[in-house]
Structures are given as structure tokens and as C-alpha cells.
Amino acid sequence: MTTRRQFLALTATGLAAPALAQKSVDLGLAGGAPTRALTRDFPQKGEMILQRSNPPLLETPFDVFKTGTITPNDRFFVRWHYPFPTDIDPRRHRVAVTGHVARPLSLSLAAIARLPRIRYAAVNQCAGNGRALFSPRVAGAGWANGAMGNAVWEGVRLKDVLDLAGVKPGAVCVRVSGLDAPTAEGAPDFAKSLAIDHARDGEVMLAFAMNGVALPLLNGFPLRLVVPGWYSTYWVKMLDSIEVLDRPDDGYWMTRAYLAPATPFADVAPGTAGFARVPVAAMSPRAFITNIAAGARLPRRSLHPVQGLAMGGDSGVRGVELSGDGGRSWAPAQLGPDEGRYGFRRFMGAVAAAPGSARLMARATNMAGVSQPMRQNWNPSGYNRAGVEAVAVEII
């Protein structure tokens, strides 16, 4: 459920330091720690939900998604595992292309930008988006549904960069990492890999622009990987290393972390053990009602207007259906313009709902024919939330 009851409250209990009143947001979470502070303290960012200041975890307040299909750069969510530089000169930045290649390279941004440009809209969503809404709750970054955003990314094809270096026969995958580095010596550097054919599909991008301007530093300035249709964990920020491997990547971040059950929607029953796990990868379709918040009191009327945003995951949005009776009956929504198969697509329509408590729902189906499940999927890591979101309202 995406509850957004904003109010003024004192700083979260458990903290010793500030006694000043601070604006916060109630994310409507069961199972503890339901509120978060709102912050304007981060560079190049407007008001964000503060999950953690260091390394920053900043969530997009859900109201932002009312404004349109594009998430503004200064409201785009932020997620870092490790500390990163806060002073970057893009003219001195270099990207090393190494490993199983004919010509190892050290490329400047200017050299990269001479390659053919590509540009498309794509949703960037944390694998753990919605984790704090899981029932039962699970440990991990406590996101509601705002660890996602849609931007127009611009840059060059990873394929073209790999071709400059000349991938040798027998290449298996491409490992990418950035300028962030662990605090403690011996902790695993953050690096993610794509299979060689995926890396060379002509869509995976090295992006230096986001919505027409340079990326905010917190979103990966000066260069980040864009893997459309896949979760954000692969969208490596402050990218400075591309390594072609002639073997599978056996690193921590591919073999131990970001693993989800190898089941449809990564769904297992709570308490299940011993299931096979695979790296999180492609995203699922999702739809979000944006014009009505949970807890809203709506006047009686024959039809209630509903609007929102849908995503198809790794393919476009085929359709969105709406329900005002908790999913017993459905009516198709009208879709807004197609702004790219990997981006958000607006939907609008109207639902009938009986007086009293009602649950309004939107259900997306993608071009591959995958529809959101009615029951929320669950796994112990809080990944791949994909079920239909219900907005509980009172019709008075």
C-alpha cells in the first residue's frame, strides 16, 4: 500500500542529537519504523525522503510522480553502497577498457562522446523498491515505492565502446565499476556484470546526460551505465572501468548479493528455505495510481477519476486496467502517449466504487503479456515487488 500521510512531527525517536521540529513523512509501514524525515540538505537535490545520509539513500516523495512521466533530476532517487568522490573534473575523468580485448584503452569523455549518440527514456528502479511495504517486513534499505524514476538518458552505446577496444573471441561477460570504494579494507568493490551479448545489444548505454543536462553528482556524474528494462543495480554510477571477462564474474556483487528466488516474480512463501537464487535482472510491469493517496476521503459520485503511471519492465506497456472494488471487476484505462518502451506511460480512466471503505487498483500488462499478480510477491531480500498496489480510500 502506498500511504502518504504527510505531517509535521518530531525527529524520529532513537536519535540523540537534534531536538528541532523537522518535516517528516509517514510511509504507512506496518512492523516498525513507519516515518522518515524529509530533507533538502543534499546537493543538486530538492526535497527528498531521507532513508540514510551516509552513504546516501534518498527516496523520491510519491507526490513527484503526479507531475508527469519524467522524474526531475533534482527529485530523482539516490542509492549508494559506498563512499564516492564529491569533487569531479569531467575533463580529467577516464574510463579504462581492459581484460579480454585486443586494445586496452583509457578513454576521456570527449573521446567517448565522439561515438554515435543515442537517447531514450527509461525507468531506473532499485531492485528493492517497495521493500518496506513487504509483509512480513524484511531487513534492508527501507524504501516505499519511490526508489524509481524515469528520465531521458543520452550517451553512447556500450557496444561501440567495446568495439573500439576489440572484444576477443571467447568473451563471456562485461564487468563495470565506478569511483565508489568501500570504507573498510578487504570489502568487495562494487562491480556488476552483463553477459557479453547483452552488453553488445546496442541498447545498453554509457550516459553522460539525464533529461538533457549533466547527471547530478549523486546520480553518477559524469557517466553512468543505463541498462534499460533491468534493475538499477546494473546502472553503475561514476563509471570508470569496463572489463571484458573470458569467464563468469565470480565477484561478491554477482554471486552473493542482489540474488532473488528463481521463481516467477521472485516469489516464495515467508519462511521458505533452500530455494535456488539467481541475480536480479529484468524488471516486471507495475502501475501506480498517482492522483489519489491512501487514506483519501472521496465524495460519492458515479465514477471516480483515476490517473497514474505504468511501466512495462523489460518491454512496453500493453495496457492498464482499473478496479474500484478491490479487483473483482476491471475496466481498461486509456493510455497516454508512448514515450518509449522502457519509460513510464501515463494512464487515465474512472472507476465506480461503493460508499464506505474501497480499494482502488491499477494493473499493468506488458507487451510480453505479463500482468501484475493480484497477491504481492514476497522474498526475504525484499526484491522485485510487482503485485497490484491497492489504494485504500473512504467513499463518504
Partner 1 sequence: MRVLLALLPLVLVAAAPVPQRPVRVAITADDGVFADRGAVSADAVNANCLGCHSAGMVLTQPRLTPVQWGETITKMRAVYKAPIEPVDDAPIIAWLTAP
Residues that bind partner 1 (CB under 8 A): 12, 14-18, 29, 31-33, 36, 39, 41-44, 50-57, 86-91, 109-110, 112-113, 117, 119, 132, 137-139, 141-142, 154, 182-188, 208-209, 212-214, 217-218, 221-222, 252, 256
Name the minimum Å distance from CB 219 to partner 1: 11
Name the minimum Å distance from CB 386 to partner 1: 20
Name the minimum Å distance from CB 215 to partner 1: 8
Q: Which is nearer to partner 1, 79 or 318 (CB)?
A: 79
Please name the residue that has the C-alpha cell 525517536: 13
Query: Rounded to 5 degrees, what are φ and ψ at 254?
Result: -110, -25
Q: Which is nearer to partner 1, 78 or 148 (CB)?
A: 78
Q: Which is nearer to partner 1, 142 or 228 (CB)?
A: 142
Name the minimum Å distance from CB 197 to partner 1: 28
Q: Which is nearer to partner 1, 76 or 221 (CB)?
A: 221
DSSP letters spanning 301-324:
-S-EEEEEEEE-SSS-EEEEEEES
Neighbours of 174 (CB within 10 A): 27
CB 171 within 8 A of CB 102: no
By the 10 Å C-beta count (0-12 exposed, 13-18 middle, 19+ buried), 277 is classed as middle
Closest CA to 3 of 391, 396, 394, 395: 391
Query: Rounded to 5 degrees, what are φ and ψ at 331?
Result: -135, 140
> Alpha-carbon distance 8 to 319, whole Å?
38
Here the cell at position 237 is 554510477
Please name the residue that has the C-alpha cell 565470480: 250
Sheet order of strands, 21-26 included: 5-10, 21-26, 35-39, 48-52, 57-59, 78-79
Name the minimum Å distance from CB 221 to partner 1: 6
Q: Which is nearer to partner 1, 182 or 332 (CB)?
A: 182
Name the minimum Å distance from CB 88 to partner 1: 5
Name the minimum Å distance from CB 235 to partner 1: 17
Residue type at 83 in one-letter notation = P
Name the minimum Å distance from CB 280 to partner 1: 18
Q: Which is nearer to partner 1, 60 or 323 (CB)?
A: 60
Closest CA to 391 of 365, 358, 364: 358
Q: Which is nearer to partner 1, 50 or 289 (CB)?
A: 50
CB 307 within 8 A of CB 336: no
Q: Which is nearer to partner 1, 36 or 100 (CB)?
A: 36
